[in-house]
Structure 1
Amino acid sequence: MPISPLFTSEFSKDWEINFIQCYPNGQLKHTELCNILQLTAGLHAELGGLSFSDMQVFHQAWVLSRMRVEVSDLPKWRDVVTVKTWIVEMKDSRSVRALELYLGDRKLAGALTYWVVINTELRKPEALALPFEHFTFYPERLPTVKSFEKIDLNGALQFLKQKTIVLSDLDIVNHANNVKYLEWCLDGLNANVILKNKVQAFDLNFLRELHWNDEIEIQTSLEENPELMTVTKSGKTSFALKLEYSR
C-alpha cells in the first residue's frame, strides 16, 4: 500500500477494553496490554507504508527483539483507552518505537520496543527494503523511565514446567507469537501477584524463534524481585523475562 494521506509521524488510537481481554478481577491482562500496543504500532506502520503486506513484497517482516513495559495501573473492562506511538529512531534493519497508554489524561503504561527486520525466507536480519524518510524521529521522547535491556542470564534458575508449541501459539510469520512467551511465563506465577496488580515493570528479550511442535522448558529464578524467567529449547534460551514487583 502507498503511504496514506492520513499518515503522521505521531499516531494515536482508541481501544475499548472488552471482557475477553480481562483477568477475573476485571483488569486488562498484561498480554492483552502488549497486544493492544503492538496492534497500534502495526496500524501506524500501515499508514506509513511499512505494513506486513508491504514488506512481504520483499519477503521481509518486523520481529520484536526487546521490549520494556512500565505499568502504574491497568485499565478495566469497558474503559476506553488511548494508545499513542512514535518512532524514536530507525536505521537499516532496526527500529526503536515508543508507546504510551492513557485513560483520559492519566498515563497508565509506557513501553519502549526494539524491532528488527528479518527476511522471512532466509530467517535472517537484513536492511529494510522500503523507504522510511517520511517518518520524523523523536530520540528525546522516551515513554519509560528505564530503557530496554539485555537481561543477565547468569543467575540460578529452577525448572517450572514443560510445553509443546501448538498451532494456536503461531502467528502470520509462522513462529510462536511474541506475546505467547509472556503468557506462558505469567501463567507460572502465583495468581495473587497478577490479581493484586504487583507487576510494575517487565523486560522481554526474544533471542531465538520457536516453531510448531518444538518442545520447550520454562524456568524461573530463585529471587523474587526482580524475578527472572526463561524459555529454553534443547538447553538454549529462546526468551527471557524480567519482572519487577511493587513493594
Structure 2
Amino acid sequence: MPISPNFTSILEQEYEINFLQCYPNGLLKYTDLCNIFQITAGIHADLGGISFSDMQEHHQAWVMSKMRLEIISLPKWKEKVTVKTWIKSLENSRSTRCLELYRGDEKLAGCETYWAVLNTQIRRPENLALPHEHFIKYPEHIATEKSVQRINLDVPFEKVLNYKVQLSDLDIVNHANNVKYLEWCLNTMDRKFVLK
C-alpha cells in the first residue's frame, strides 16, 4: 500500500474503552492496554507503507520482541483515550517504537517496544525490505523512564504450570504474541493483586 496522504511521523489515535476490555472493577485490562498499543502501532505502519500486507510482499512481518510498560493509572469503561506513537529508531532488522496513553492532557501510561523484522518463510530476522526514510525518527523523544530491556532470568522462580499453546493464542503470523504471554502470567497471579 502506498504511503497515505494522512501519514504523519507521530500518530495520535483515539479510542473509547469498551466493556470487553475491562476487568470486573471497570478498569482497562493490562492485556487490552497492550493490544491497544499494538493496534495503534499497526495503524501507524499501515499509514506509512510498512504494514503487514506491504511486508508480506517480501515475506516479512514485524514481530515484537520486548516491551517496557510504565503505568501511572488505567482508564475506565466508556472513557475516551488517545494513544500517541512514534518511531525512536529503525535500522536494518530492528526498530524501537514509543507509545503513550492519554486521557485528555493527562498521561496514563508510557510504553517502549522493540520490534524485529522476521522473514515468515524461513522464520529468521532480516533487514526491512521497504523504504522508511519518510518516517522521522525521534531518538530523544522517550515515553518511559527506563528503556526496554531483556527480562532478567537469573533470579529464583517457581514453575506454576505447564501450558500448551492453543489455536486461539496464535496470530496472523502463526505465533503467540507478547500479549498472550502476559495474559498467561496474569492468569496465574492472585486476582486481588491484579485488580488493585
Partner residue of 1:60? 60
CA contact (8 A) 2:64 2:115 kept: yes
Q: In the alignment, does 2:15 pair up with 1:15?
A: yes
- How many residues are aligned here? 196
Contact kept? 2:62, 2:118, Cα under 8 Å = yes
Runs of 4+ in 1 over 4 A off after TM superposition: none
Unpaired segments of 5 or more residues in structure 2? none
C-alpha contact (below 8 Å) 2:170/2:177 kept by paired residues: yes
- List per-residue Cα deviations over 1:149-172 (Å, max 9, x = no partner): 122211111121111111100000
Higher RCO (CA 8 Å, separation ≥ 6 residues): 2
Report the alpha carbon displacement of residue 44 of structure 1 after superposing the two structures with TM. 0.4
Secondary structure of 2:181 counterpart: helix
More strand by share: 1
Counterpart code for 1:110: G
1-side partners of 2:64 and 2:86: how far apart?
16
Match for residue 47 of structure 1?
Answer: 47
Amino acid at match of 1:95: S
CA contact (8 A) 2:27 2:76 kept: yes
Which residue pairs with 2:73 in the alignment? 73
**What per-residue deviation string (whole Å, max 9, x for no partner) do you get for residues 99-157 of structure 1?**
00000110000000000001000000000000001010111110000111122211111
Matched, 1:125 2:138: no
CA distance in 2, matches of 1:195, 1:182: 15
Structure 2 residue aligned with 1:91: 91
After the TM superposition, which residues 1-247 of structure 1 pair with which residues of structure 2 at under 5 Å, given as runs?
1-196=1-196
- Following the alignment from structure 1 to structure 2, what is the Cα–Cα distance between the partners of residues 149 and 93? 17
Amino acid at match of 1:145: E
Q: Which amino acid aligns with 1:35?
A: N
Supply the distance in 1 between the matched residues of 2:143 and 2:75 (Cα, whole angstroms). 18
Percent identical residues = 61
Question: How far off is 1:177 after superposition?
Answer: 2.3
Tell me the residue number matched to 1:215: none
1:77 and 1:6 mapped to 2: Cα distance? 29
Partners of 1:155 and 1:194 in 2: how far apart?
Answer: 22
The residue type equivalent to 2:128 in the other structure is L
- SS of the aligned residue for 1:42 comes to helix
TM-score calculated relative to the size of structure 2: 0.99
More helix by share: 2
Looking at structure 2, the residues matched to 138 and 20 of structure 1 have their Cα atoms a distance apart, in angstroms, of 34
